[in-house]
Amino acid sequence: MAAPIGNVVIPGDTFSLLQLQPNDEHKKILLGPGLKEEEAEIKVLRPGILRFRKPGVYWVDCHHKRYIPAKGDSVIGIVNQKVGDIFRVDIGSSEQASLSYLSFEGSTKRNRPDVKVGDIVYAKLLVANKDMEPEIVCIDGYGRSNGMGVIRNGGFLFHTSLNLARKLLNPECTLLKSLGNRFQFEISVGVNGRVWIKAANDVQTIALVNSVIASEYKDNDQIKEMCKRISKAVSRMEVD
Amino acid sequence: MASFTVVKTEDLAAEQGKGPACVLRGQTSDLGCLTRQDGSVSLSQGDTTSIAVVYGPAEVRINKEQIDQATVEVVYRPKVGLPRPEHRKQERVIRNTFEAAIAASLHPRSAISIIIQETEDMGSNFSCCINSSCLALLDAAVSMNFMVAAVTVALKECGEMVLDPTKRDETEAKSVLSYVFDSVNLQVLTVVSCGKFSRAEYRNGLVLAREAAKSVFQFYRESMSKKLLMSQ
Amino acid sequence: MAEQFKMAQPKEYFKKFLENDIRPDDRELGEFRPTILNIGCVSTAEGSALVKLGNTTIMCGIKAEVATPDADRPKEGFVVPNVELSPLCSPSFRPGPPGEQAQVLSQNMADLLRTSECINLEDLNICPGKLSWVLHIDLVCLDYDGNVMDACTLALVSALKNTSLPSVTVDEETGDIKTDPTTLRPLSVSCCPVSTSFIVFDHNILLVDPTHEEEKLATGAITIIAEGGNLVSIYKPGGTPLTDEQMEDCIDRALKRSKEASQLIGETLCSIDR
């Protein structure tokens, strides 16, 4: 029996290495989230859909609402507290992440960034480890902001399931493209299930937020259809 | 947010020619019935219903923090009145059961809270609580070593055994045994009893409950499949 | 050296002993600690017992009080067990309202009394609908060294067997209640439930009558209450899943212990009668 790739697996399910790779046993495999190796068997820890990517990456795609930090993730956080040289940022995980004032573009000891409690930041996880406090930064390896930093000038922040956030970021998902054809807006999506949207006016913002939330269980055709309807409805409201 | 309702009709009785005593009452689950929680489910087994909600891994209270594993908290709310000592005992049994099932070492210094609200107790309430908590944990995609399934058996005065008893069966019975099994080896994780019984009765109940637990695990799989395949 | 090893790696320390089928306190895996029973040691109480299970010490006192019965059950009295785990017995308990463990133990005692039916609540009735006895069963832990459940059960049953109630007369006209302490009637206790606790060490080894140190290292626990050849309760709250054979072994041991303990209670009772 081959491994049930693309099928639903639930905690306690096990399969052997042989099931994963019936032909080539010596290839290296990499186990992603939700899988664990135990006594020469691979054990499922989380309910979800088993996925595979070449050359040998396996993981369980599950439906989360709670964010668990992972290194390199781009997230949206809310600055909660300022303690000495660091900010405490709520990124939706079990612990608040720390953000140093030096990890902004162009900031030095003299030139402190302008960050206040309550600000929204778009940042990347530098340290994500189950035993340590997560640390986020707003610069890339070359010291540039690369789109990260404090998000200013209004807009609207809302929460979605982590699945939806990943779906929005998936290049195959047409939602942002379809919406972009009809509206002018800015959006940033954190994989921690937080989405920030800013459009020309409130009516459009609300319409966009609703269409993002409604797209969770829709396929691409349905999404296109929905975008068409929404743009019609919005233009009618704006005329009134 | 959409929620997913899975209904399982137990026609096994007719198919397998077993008496009605050997079959679980129909189970209905409503995964994601509440929206703000990490995982939520409303489970009915026959007329017994409970709502379970899971938060986690979330922030932990400093005095409950464990540096090597997640802290599991269970809160049980009865349908009427305030929680009494008997509910504290039930909370503890449920907590200990899930401490073994949850892969707690993956999330140190965090809390996984399970909150159970009894909505209707028409017999086998303990099983319903365990099963709804397990489904809520699955809904929240909390890492678990194995799943658990609880089955209650009532022993009648005449020696007859009733699987998944109703409230009436429970009051008539001389003793009520609840077994909880793990999904990997179907071994006994938890046993709680009420009333005297003999060794043979314990054994027979175990065999009966173990068979029924398989169908509970099948029900979990069906429920999760329906939810996960829909969001694809 | 052994002290340091125990401090640094308690689990490894225990494993070294268990490899040779022996425990650090020189017991075999299925052996109870020496049980000492002292019945009737509190003269001011209606019934009392002191149990020592190794270092674990439980004092049980039963105080009887007269009260009006429940309107729903006019012919029944009450039994109110209460377990107290105060800072006196171990530094891990804090002063103040009872903690979760104490509440669960009290509930276990109440469940035990109900399911074993060792006291007929109707025996506690004095005058139907008007007067009944309330038995306040106070179990105080004096020294906490593990397996409090077994010690409590033993103390509870011994104290109940030691309980005698004075006869009560009610003056019809004035409604005054008079107790006559000279005519004592012993409480009838129909059976003698005995509890046996095990812990699971390192997911596969079963240890009977655990000490506090062993309890801390446990990956699971199970308590079986037996009475005669019957089982009153099997209580296994989570922990490591056990195989059917392991469960059967536990039941075997519990039935054996039940015989031993009821014999001990019987002998002790005989010795105070003399």
Structure ipTM: 0.90
- Inform me whether the pLDDT recorded for A21 exceeds 80: no
The answer to the question of residue C134 being in a domain is yes
pLDDT tens, residue by residue, B75-104:
999 999 999 989 999 999 999 999 999 999
Best A10, A209, A213 member to test B by mutation, with max B CBs in 10 Å, is A10
pLDDT tens, residue by residue, C126-153:
888 888 999 999 999 999 999 999 999 9
CB A151 within 8 A of CB A120: yes
- Inform me whether the pLDDT recorded for B177 exceeds 60: yes
Which of A48, A95, A163 has the CB atom closest to B59's CB atom?
Answer: A95
The pair phi, psi for residue B105, each rounded to 5°, is: -70, -10
Which of A47, A94, A131 has the CB atom closest to B59's CB atom?
Answer: A94
Mean pLDDT of A136-164: 90
Contacts of B229 in chain A (CB under 8 A): 8, 49
The CA radius of gyration of chain A, in Å to the nearest whole number, is: 21
Which of B144, B227, B230 has the CB atom closest to A11's CB atom?
Answer: B144
Mean pLDDT of A65-77: 93
- Looking at residue A23, its pLDDT comes to 65
Q: How confident is the model at residue B181 (pLDDT cuts 50, 70, 90)?
A: very high
Helix orientation angle between A162-169 and A175-182, rounded to the nearest 10 degrees:
70
- Inform me whether the pLDDT recorded for A20 exceeds 80: no
Query: Are B231 and A63 an interchain contact pair (Cβ–Cβ within 8 Å)?
Result: yes
The CATH number assigned to the domain holding C218 equals 3.30.230.70
Q: In 10 A of CB B84, how many CB atoms?
A: 12
Tokens of C131: 């007067």
Chain B stretch 107-146, residues whose beta carbon is closer than 8 A to a beta carbon of chain A: 107-111, 138-146
For the four alpha carbons of A178, A179, A183 and A188, in that order, the dihedral sign comes to negative
- Tell me the average pLDDT of chain B: 88
Contacts of B85 in chain C (CB under 8 A): 103-104, 106-107, 110
Single-letter code of the amino acid located at B193: S
- Can you point out the beta strands (E) in chain A? 8-9, 14-16, 30-31, 35-38, 41-44, 48-53, 57-61, 74-83, 86-90, 97-100, 120-129, 132-137, 149-151, 156-159, 185-190, 194-199
Query: Of A25-29, A216-220, B135-139, C71-75, which one has max mean pLDDT?
Result: B135-139
Q: Tens place of pLDDT for every residue, chain C, 274 residues?
A: 788 888 888 889 999 899 998 998 889 998 999 999 999 888 899 999 999 999 999 999 999 988 888 888 888 889 999 999 999 999 989 999 999 999 999 999 999 999 988 889 888 888 888 889 999 999 999 999 999 999 999 999 999 999 999 888 887 777 778 888 788 888 888 889 999 999 998 888 999 999 999 999 999 999 999 998 889 999 999 889 999 999 999 999 999 999 999 999 999 988 886 5
Q: Is B180 on the interface with A (CB under 8 A)?
A: no
CB C155 within 8 A of CB C139: yes
Query: Are B37 and A65 an interchain contact pair (Cβ–Cβ within 8 Å)?
Result: yes
The pair phi, psi for residue A47, each rounded to 5°, is: -75, 140
Single-letter code of the amino acid located at B103: A
Best B86, B196, B198 member to test C by mutation, with max C CBs in 10 Å, is B196
Which of B100, B185, B198 has the CB atom closest to C238's CB atom?
Answer: B100
The answer to the question of residue C30 being in a domain is yes
- Can you point out the beta strands (E) in chain C? 35-39, 47-53, 56-67, 78-84, 125-127, 131-143, 164-170, 177-186, 194-201, 205-208, 218-227, 230-235
Q: In 10 A of CB C274, how many CB atoms?
A: 4
Residue C121's Cβ-side half-sphere holds a number of Cα atoms within 13 Å equal to: 18
Contacts of B97 in chain C (CB under 8 A): 237-238
What residues make up the domain containing C265?
24-273
> A–C contact (≥3 CB pairs within 8 Å)?
no
Query: Are C115 and B202 an interchain contact pair (Cβ–Cβ within 8 Å)?
Result: no
Chain C residues with CB within 8 Å of chain B CB: 100, 103-104, 106-108, 110-111, 115-117, 219-220, 222, 227, 229-244, 247, 251, 255
Chain A stretch 57-76, residues whose beta carbon is closer than 8 A to a beta carbon of chain B: 62-66, 68
Q: Is A49 on the interface with B (CB under 8 A)?
A: yes
How many independent structural domains does chain C possess?
A: 1
Structural domains of chain B ordered from first start: 5-231 (3.30.230.70)
Nearest to B32 by CA among A36, A221, A63, C106: A63
CB C95 within 8 A of CB C53: no
Query: Are A94 and B227 an interchain contact pair (Cβ–Cβ within 8 Å)?
Result: no
**CA–CA distances in Å: residue B198 to residues B170, B193, B204, C194, C253:** 18, 12, 10, 15, 15
The answer to the question of residue C186 being in a domain is yes
DSSP-derived letter for residue B102 is: B
Nearest to B212 by CA among B7, B41, B45: B45
> B–C contact (≥3 CB pairs within 8 Å)?
yes
- Looking at residue B158, its pLDDT comes to 87
- Inform me whether the pLDDT recorded for B37 exceeds 50: yes
- Looking at residue B203, its pLDDT comes to 93
Tokens of A204: 């459009």
The answer to the question of residue C236 being in a domain is yes
- Looking at residue C131, its pLDDT comes to 87
The answer to the question of residue C16 being in a domain is no
- Inform me whether the pLDDT recorded for A24 exceeds 80: no
CB A25 within 8 A of CB A40: no
Which of C106, C115, C243 has the CB atom closest to B187's CB atom?
Answer: C243
Q: What is the largest CA-CA distance in chain B?
A: 56
Q: In 10 A of CB A97, how many CB atoms?
A: 28
C263: burial class by Cβ within 10 Å (0-12, 13-18, 19+)? exposed
Contacts of B93 in chain C (CB under 8 A): 237-238
Best B61, B218, B231 member to test A by mutation, with max A CBs in 10 Å, is B231
The answer to the question of residue C19 being in a domain is no
What number of C-beta contacts closer than 8 Å exist between A and B? Answer: 97
- Tell me how far apart the alpha carbons of residues A106 and A123 are, in angstroms, rounded to a whole number: 15
Which of C222, C231, C238 has the CB atom closest to B97's CB atom?
Answer: C238
Structural domains of chain A ordered from first start: 7-61 (2.40.50), 73-150 (2.40.50.140), 156-238 (3.30.1370.10)
Q: How confident is the model at residue B1 (pLDDT cuts 50, 70, 90)?
A: very low
Single-letter code of the amino acid located at C205: I
Best B88, B98, B129, B134 member to test C by mutation, with max C CBs in 10 Å, is B88
Tokens of A239: 């005329």
- Tell me how far apart the alpha carbons of residues B159 and B174 are, in angstroms, rounded to a whole number: 9
DSSP three-state, residue C53 = strand
- Tell me how far apart the alpha carbons of residues C84 and A187 are, in angstroms, rounded to a whole number: 60
- Tell me how far apart the alpha carbons of residues A126 and A115 are, in angstroms, rounded to a whole number: 19
Q: Is B219 on the interface with A (CB under 8 A)?
A: no
Q: Is A132 on the interface with B (CB under 8 A)?
A: no
Best B64, B66, B69, B89 member to test C by mutation, with max C CBs in 10 Å, is B89
Query: Are B147 and A45 an interchain contact pair (Cβ–Cβ within 8 Å)?
Result: no
Query: Are B144 and A68 an interchain contact pair (Cβ–Cβ within 8 Å)?
Result: no
CB C257 within 8 A of CB C194: yes
Mean pLDDT of B63-81: 93
- Looking at residue C274, its pLDDT comes to 58
- Looking at residue B6, its pLDDT comes to 58
